[in-house]
Amino acid sequence: MGKAVDIGRTSEHDPTALGRNFKKRLRGDEVLLGGMVAEMIRTTVVKLYKQAGFDFIFADNEHVLMSGLPAMADFVLSARDNGMPVIAKAAVLDRAEVARLLEAGVVGIQLPRTESRQDLETLIDYMKFPPVGSRAGAPLLGNVDYIWPTDSRQWIRDADESTVIVGHIETRRGYENFEEIVTTPHLDMIYIGWYDFSISMGQPGEPDHPDVRGPMEHILELCVKHGVPFGTTVSGPDKAKDWISRGAGFFEVIDELSLLARAAAQTVDAYRKVTKNGRIAKNA
């Protein structure tokens, strides 16, 4: 992206702090919880997740139409304004797709179906500036909160430190290559999508089956050995406690559709319990 003739106001504001602080927390001893967004790209969801206490937002940009929509850019901008880091799936491993997400202001890219070190190296190339990668500069968009950096050299260094690269293992081939994946330089996090992983391992919908649980534990053990934060999604706090005791450091917890469905059902059930067969009570 070429430098504009009139770059407008500059500032000492650090647009990379959100990502760098998130990575610092990720490397510490905290367990970070992510609120997932499956469909409702609304600033309302950002506010509700912030108030609930989630540490970050995970946007499923693979299975629904998010990328490129104005609502997605507004959603990410709102998250940044509320101090909520956004990690988004890249729908495809494509330079323009990755660039659009980064320039919108997401701090991390999660690569679905990560199956080799080469997959991650391609993503790293798209996400990092030279000499590590080949990311193009675009310093006047959501990634800098629309304020041109005063020091481009420092901004590029800080931006590279702030971007979060997430390997997403969810296939048998990914498991077969997990050692080379976990040990990839510049990798920041490993997430296992247990549902697709269970399908690929021949035990659909059974996260505790030995053919699923065993490989997940193998990956976690290697992550712990190499200091790579490991995360997954579980059915609830009891399951999370077990994974945390083994070294899991983050969870993509639940999506807004599941929260809405669960709360709606619980509310209706509660009201049904105080009625008599769902009908108006008749005086005897």
Model confidence pLDDT, tens digit, residues 61-90? 887 766 667 888 999 999 999 999 999 999
Model confidence pLDDT, tens digit, residues 146-157? 998 989 999 999
CA distances from 188 to 34, 48, 55, 149 (A): 16, 27, 16, 25
Lookup result for tokens 């701090």: 107
pTM assigned to the model: 0.90
pLDDT-derived band at 97, boundaries 50, 70, 90: very high
Tokens (6 digits) for 241? 């406690």
Mean pLDDT of 277-282: 69
pLDDT-derived band at 8, boundaries 50, 70, 90: very low
Which amino acid is residue 178, in one-letter code? F
pLDDT over 50 (residue 274): yes
Return the pLDDT at 68. Answer: 63
Contact assessment for residue 142 and residue 73, using Cβ atoms and an 8 Å cutoff: yes
pLDDT over 80 (residue 249): yes
Fold of 10-273: TIM Barrel (3.20.20)
Lookup result for tokens 């609930």: 52
Return the pLDDT at 211. Answer: 97
Mean pLDDT of 274-278: 74
